[in-house]
């Protein structure tokens, strides 16, 4: 029976990946020509990209429950900080962020044929770690530009997918960028997606899992201007951890962070 279960999971996972990539490929096939002929990505995102990318979630048989904090303003362009779990993270963000956004990603990804072109045309922000002296300045200017054209920025402050299901340390570069760009930070806490798929599982997926997503309020970054971003990173991380541990929004945004866990002082 155990062997049959593994075989069933393998067949399901193979079908899920095939269908998901087919849908994402369709999204790219439609998105690229629209961008090349001059349609603004802010419009194309809402028309094509976000709906098709978000369609991978029901394909993965995920039961999604989305919770927006009462103080979250969907009209305010923000830097969204989401805990990083698996390759569905961006698809989930496309479902829950209510307007166009660009991603913060490694510069080498922009060199991948088709995918890289799509990321560039969709206003993705490259993180070039070979330019450490100007990196924060560069991504801050890019984030400010995205705000000016009506887009938010999606980030994964941990910088890598979790191997344990726990939230890793937050890198401060994301928060320095938000402060410099004059953009608020919105925590996104994703609970249950680790059970669907994680790095330890490889390409295997579990079917019919429930995933809760908590979109918190905007954290104003103005009070942190001229200060270290460490305090803001700790505050946002503590908020995400609280949502995941308790399955609900904290009563206040002033959640106490564990004193043994410090943000990582890395560019992004």
Would residue 105 count as lying in a domain?
yes
Q: What is the pLDDT of residue 257?
A: 60
**pLDDT band at residue 225, thresholds of 50, 70 and 90?**
confident
What share of the chain in percent tops pLDDT 90? 74
Q: Does residue 88 register a pLDDT over 90?
A: yes
The rounded distance, in Å, linking the Cα atoms of 115 and 107 is 12
Would residue 22 count as lying in a domain?
no
Q: Does residue 35 register a pLDDT over 50?
A: yes
Is-contact 186 217, C-beta < 8 A?
Answer: yes
Would residue 260 count as lying in a domain?
no
Q: Does residue 212 register a pLDDT over 80?
A: yes
Structural domain for 232, as ranges: 61-246
**pLDDT band at residue 3, thresholds of 50, 70 and 90?**
confident
Strands of the chain, DSSP E: 63-68, 79-82, 101-106, 125-127, 152-155, 185-191, 210-215
Mean pLDDT of 43-54: 94
Q: Does residue 256 register a pLDDT over 70?
A: no
Tokens of 134: 């100007």
Q: What is the pLDDT of residue 258?
A: 57
The rounded distance, in Å, linking the Cα atoms of 157 and 95 is 19
- Average pLDDT across the chain, whole number: 91
Q: Does residue 259 register a pLDDT over 50?
A: no
The half-sphere exposure of 104 on its side-chain side, counting CA atoms within 13 A, is 34
Number of domains in the chain: 1
Is the four-CA dihedral 85, 86, 87, 93 of positive or negative sign? negative
Would residue 236 count as lying in a domain?
yes
Q: What is the pLDDT of residue 115?
A: 82
Q: What is the pLDDT of residue 260?
A: 46
Q: What is the pLDDT of residue 252?
A: 85
Q: Does residue 268 register a pLDDT over 70?
A: no
Q: Does residue 167 register a pLDDT over 80?
A: yes
Would residue 225 count as lying in a domain?
yes
Q: What is the pLDDT of residue 231?
A: 93
Residue 74, judged by CB atoms within 10 A of its CB (0-12, 13-18, 19+), counts as: exposed
Determine which of 66-80, 103-117, 209-223 has the lowest per-residue pLDDT on average. 103-117
Q: CB under 8 Å to 267, separation ≥6 — which residues?
A: 127, 129, 132, 135, 136, 171, 173
**pLDDT band at residue 6, thresholds of 50, 70 and 90?**
confident
**pLDDT band at residue 146, thresholds of 50, 70 and 90?**
very high
Could you give the strand order of the β-sheet that contains 152-155, starting from the edge strand earlier in sequence?
A: 63-68, 210-215, 185-191, 79-82, 152-155, 101-106, 125-127
Q: Does residue 265 register a pLDDT over 60?
A: no
Q: Does residue 191 register a pLDDT over 60?
A: yes
The rounded distance, in Å, linking the Cα atoms of 245 and 251 is 14
Residue entry with tokens 């994703």: 190
Residue 124, judged by CB atoms within 10 A of its CB (0-12, 13-18, 19+), counts as: buried
**pLDDT band at residue 129, thresholds of 50, 70 and 90?**
confident
Q: Does residue 119 register a pLDDT over 60?
A: yes
CA dihedral of residues 128, 82, 143, 68 (deg, nearest 10):
170
């Amino acid at each position: 029976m155990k062997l049959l279960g593994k075989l069933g999971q393998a067949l399901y996972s193979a079908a899920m990946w095939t269908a998901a990539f087919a849908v994402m490929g369709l999204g790219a096939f439609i998105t690229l020509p629209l961008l090349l002929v001059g349609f603004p990505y802010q419009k194309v995102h809402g028309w094509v990209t976000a709906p098709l990318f978000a369609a991978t979630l029901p394909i993965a048989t995920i039961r999604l429950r989305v919770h927006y904090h009462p103080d979250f303003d969907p009209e305010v362009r923000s830097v969204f900080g989401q805990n990083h779990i698996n390759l569905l993270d961006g698809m989930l963000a496309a479902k829950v962020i209510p307007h166009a956004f660009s991603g913060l990603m490694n510069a080498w990804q922009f060199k991948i044929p088709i995918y890289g072109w799509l990321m560039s045309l969709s206003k993705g922000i490259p993180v070039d770690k070979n330019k450490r002296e100007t990196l924060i300045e560069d991504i801050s200017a890019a984030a400010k530009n995205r705000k000016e054209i009506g887009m938010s920025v999606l980030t994964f402050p941990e910088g890598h997918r979790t191997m344990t299901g726990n939230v890793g340390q937050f890198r401060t570069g994301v928060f320095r960028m938000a402060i410099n760009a004059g953009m608020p930070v919105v925590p996104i806490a994703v609970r249950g997606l680790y059970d669907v798929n994680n790095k330890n599982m490889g390409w295997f997926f579990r079917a019919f899992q429930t995933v809760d997503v908590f979109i918190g309020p905007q954290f104003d970054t103005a009070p942190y201007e001229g200060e270290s971003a460490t305090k803001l990173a700790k505050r946002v991380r503590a908020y995400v951890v609280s949502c995941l541990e308790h399955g609900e929004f904290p009563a206040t945004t002033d959640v106490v962070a564990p004193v043994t866990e410090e943000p990582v002082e890395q560019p992004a």
